[in-house]
Each structure stands twice: as C-alpha cells, then as structure tokens.
C-alpha cells in the first residue's frame, strides 16, 4: 500500500463513540496513514483524542444535538448543523482524505454530509442492536456500514451492511491485575467488584452501590468508576473501596483486577468485558431515558449466557444485592460461555475493512 494516504475519523458525545477510533488509530498510523479527527468544540472526544494522540490533528466543528424531546434548541440546532457542514467541508477539502470513518454521535452528522458533498467515501460503524439516530441520518450518505451485532443488519440496506463483530482495543487485553490491585491499595485475597456507569456516570448505579457499601464490603473490594463530578468525598480513604471519577490509561489494569463487573449496557463496554471473560450484571438505561438500545444489548447478552440483567425499574437495595448473589453463584457457567464466544476483531482487521472503500 502506498504511503501517506489520509483518513478522517469522526464520532463523539460519549466515550463509546470514541473508543473504536482510539483502537484503530495506531494501526492506521502503522499502515502509513495520516490521521485527522473531526469532533465538537467541547465534547469528550476532544479530551480523549488529545490526551491519547497529541500528534493527531483535531478539528473542532459546530454541531447540534439530536433530541427526541421538545426543546427550544431544536429550532436553533439545525443552523449549528449547517455551520458544521461548512466547517467540515473546509477541513475535508484541505486535508484531502481518501476515506472517512464515522463512529456516530451527533457531531458525525455534519461530517458525513460534507463528505458526500466532497465525493469522499464514508464508512459508518454501529455498535448497538438497532441503529442510532445519527447513523440513521448518515446512512444515505455512507458507502458502507459495519455492525457489531448480527441482528442489526436486518435494520439496514442489505447491499451496504456487514456484521464484523466486536473490535477490542489491544491495550485492554494487556492489562495487569497486580498493577490494578496496587492502584487501589487492594489485596489479592478478596474478590474485586468493579462498578461503572459509563463515561458520564450513572446516579442510579452510584446510589445503588453506595447504599449497599457496608454489606458489600464484607464480601468484596470495590472499584467504583462513578463519572466526572460524582466523587463522594466522605468515602475517600474507606478501606476496600476505591472511587475514580474517570480513568483512561488505568482502565486495562482495573478491568484485569476485577472479578465481577456491574455496568450499564453500552455495546463497547460489554464486549470488552466479554473479551476479558468478566461475569457481568448489566443494568441498562431504561426506555424512559433512552431509545432502548441498552435494553436490547443487555437482553441479547443474557440470552447468550454472557450476563445477568437487572432492569432499572426493578433496582433497589434488596434487588441489587440479590442480583449480585445470583451472579456470583453462576459465574463459572458464564465464564464457560464467554470462552466459547466468537473472538473479537483486531484493530488491524478493522482498518483493512475500512480502507477497502477508499477512493
């Protein structure tokens, strides 16, 4: 392959819309590509990409939010999207990419439309069982869309949709349990429970855990990824409990230190737990708070024997403890099912799939 080709990556709003891009950037650079990133001015993607890849040029554009509820901003955001299309088009014409890869999130919509205007092929990736709103809007402008779940393909045009399965960041597989325990000040003699509610945190999960801390600490050492702004200073220094608002480079070691995980049901995270063979209790975002994608993700994992599921509407102190006890009693069976699961794609394999569409 000839050197010095250029690719633009986009996606943001949550860490889930950035993690795959983070995973493939080293492979793209190794393959000789110049990588550029288009994201929003203040989104989490700017921090994640800037911290992990300071040499990757980051281009900020204007973008609206794709809301499913009434807001006065729904009347002004279309103008932000139009501005974003113009800004993205200027970046595309300047850097001249051979292909653009979109991971979704509202910031990706102007980029995908601008790519179509510039006649640059776009490859889209969908992690959830049903396509998100941003990817639905992007679909007419895309050359191809890859999915994680086989079930997703039936919701998409058959001539431009392919299931690849999951793609896992190589560094997650290289975590060190001993380092993770040391980071928390934990011993190797007591099981470790890791609780996380996504990059933005989850008040529901945080409250469920903290209300049960005295009981849980009798059985577990606890790693709590509570989300930015959600640290409880009154619990700092509590023996057997370590809270972080957000982690980046520490995550592989913390995941390897965990014996059991409680989490929301975002696709990227649950496939990472699957690859690491971690029994998981999934508490998906309720349908009242989302489009129901996490519920579908969680139930598919339950059906395949990879997870137990506790609906948010059923979550309380007693049900949380009961669900954890049930998970512990079935953990060996769950791990056996995980060992037999299809292996995830490597970032190198994903890069090959994306770049076959370049012009």
Domain total of the chain: 2
Q: What range defines the domain where residue 270 resides?
A: 171-339
Spatial contact of 37 and 8, defined as CB atoms under 8 Å apart: yes
**Residues linked to residue 10 through DSSP beta bridges, in sequence order:** 38, 102
Note whether 175 and 156 are same-domain residues: no
What is residue 72's predicted lDDT score, i.e. its pLDDT? 44
User: How far, rounded to the nearest angstrom, does the alpha carbon of residue 340 sit from its chain's CA centroid?
Assistant: 23
> So what's the pLDDT on residue 73?
53
Is the same domain home to 264 and 126? Answer: no
Tokens read off for 151: 């079930």
| pLDDT number for residue 16 | 81
157, 240: one domain: no
Domain containing residue 235: CATH number: 3.40.50.2000
Among residues 101, 184, 175, the alpha carbon closest in space to that of 138 is found at 101
Residues 213 and 266 in one domain: yes
Answer yes or no: do 29 and 84 share one domain.
Answer: yes
Spell out the per-residue pLDDT of the chain, length 359, in tens.
455 799 999 999 888 889 899 999 999 999 999 999 999 998 899 999 999 999 999 999 998 665 454 444 554 567 788 999 999 999 999 999 999 999 988 899 999 999 999 999 999 999 988 888 889 999 999 999 999 999 999 999 989 999 999 998 888 999 999 999 999 999 999 999 999 987 655 888 999 999 999 999 999 999 999 988 899 999 999 999 999 998 989 999 999 999 999 999 989 899 999 999 999 999 998 877 777 789 999 999 999 999 999 999 999 989 999 999 999 999 999 999 999 998 898 999 999 999 999 98
* Residues 113 and 240 placed together within one structural domain of the fold: no
Residues 335 and 351 in one domain: no
Q: Please check whether residues 32 and 153 belong to one and the same domain.
A: yes
Do 118 and 89 reside in the same domain of the chain?
yes
- Between CA 251 and CA 257 the distance in angstroms is 10
150 plus 177 within the same structural domain: no
Q: Tell me, what DSSP letter sits at residue 139?
A: G
User: Are 9 and 132 found together in one domain?
Assistant: yes
pTM to 2 decimal places: 0.85
CA atoms within 13 A on the CB side of 101: 28
Asked if 297 and 307 count as a contact pair (C-beta separation under 8 A), the reply is no
Q: What is the pLDDT of residue 13?
A: 85
Residue 193 and residue 82 share a domain: no
């Amino acid at each position: 392959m000839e050197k010095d080709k250029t690719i633009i990556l986009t996606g943001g709003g949550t860490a889930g819309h950035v993690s795959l891009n983070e995973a493939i950037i080293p492979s793209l650079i190794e393959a000789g590509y110049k990588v550029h990133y288009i994201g929003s001015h203040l989104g989490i993607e700017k921090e994640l990409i800037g911290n992990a890849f300071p040499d990757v040029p980051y281009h900020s554009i204007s973008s609206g939010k794709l809301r499913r509820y009434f807001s006065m901003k729904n009347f002004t955001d279309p103008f932000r999207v139009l501005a974003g299309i113009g800004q993205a088009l200027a970046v595309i014409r300047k850097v001249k990419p051979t292909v653009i890869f979109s991971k979704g999130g509202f910031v990706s919509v102007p980029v995908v439309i601008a790519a179509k205007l510039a006649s640059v092929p776009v490859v889209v990736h969908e992690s959830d069982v049903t396509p998100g709103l941003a990817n639905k809007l992007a679909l007419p402008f895309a050359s191809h869309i890859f999915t994680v779940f086989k079930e997703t393909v039936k919701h998409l045009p058959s001539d431009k949709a392919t299931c690849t399965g999951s793609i896992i960041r190589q560094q997650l597989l290289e975590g060190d349990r001993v380092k993770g325990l040391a980071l928390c000040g934990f011993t190797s003699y007591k099981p470790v429970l890791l609780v996380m509610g996504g990059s933005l945190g989850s008040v529901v999960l945080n409250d469920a855990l903290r209300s049960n801390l005295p009981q849980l600490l009798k059985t577990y050492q606890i790693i709590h990824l509570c989300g930015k702004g959600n640290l409880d200073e009154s619990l700092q220094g509590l023996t057997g409990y370590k809270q972080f608002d957000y982690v980046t480079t520490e995550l592989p070691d913390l995941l390897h230190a965990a014996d059991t995980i409680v989490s929301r049901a975002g696709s990227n995270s649950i496939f990472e737990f699957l690859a690491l063979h971690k029994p998981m209790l999934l508490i998906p975002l309720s349908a009242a708070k989302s489009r129901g994608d996490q519920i579908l993700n969680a139930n598919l994992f339950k059906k395949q024997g990879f997870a137990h599921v506790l609906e948010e509407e059923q979550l309380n102190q007693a049900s949380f403890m009961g669900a954890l006890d049930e998970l512990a009693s079935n953990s060996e069976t769950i791990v056996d099912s995980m060992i037999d699961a299809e292996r995830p794609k490597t970032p190198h394999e994903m890069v090959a799939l994306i770049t076959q569409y370049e012009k």
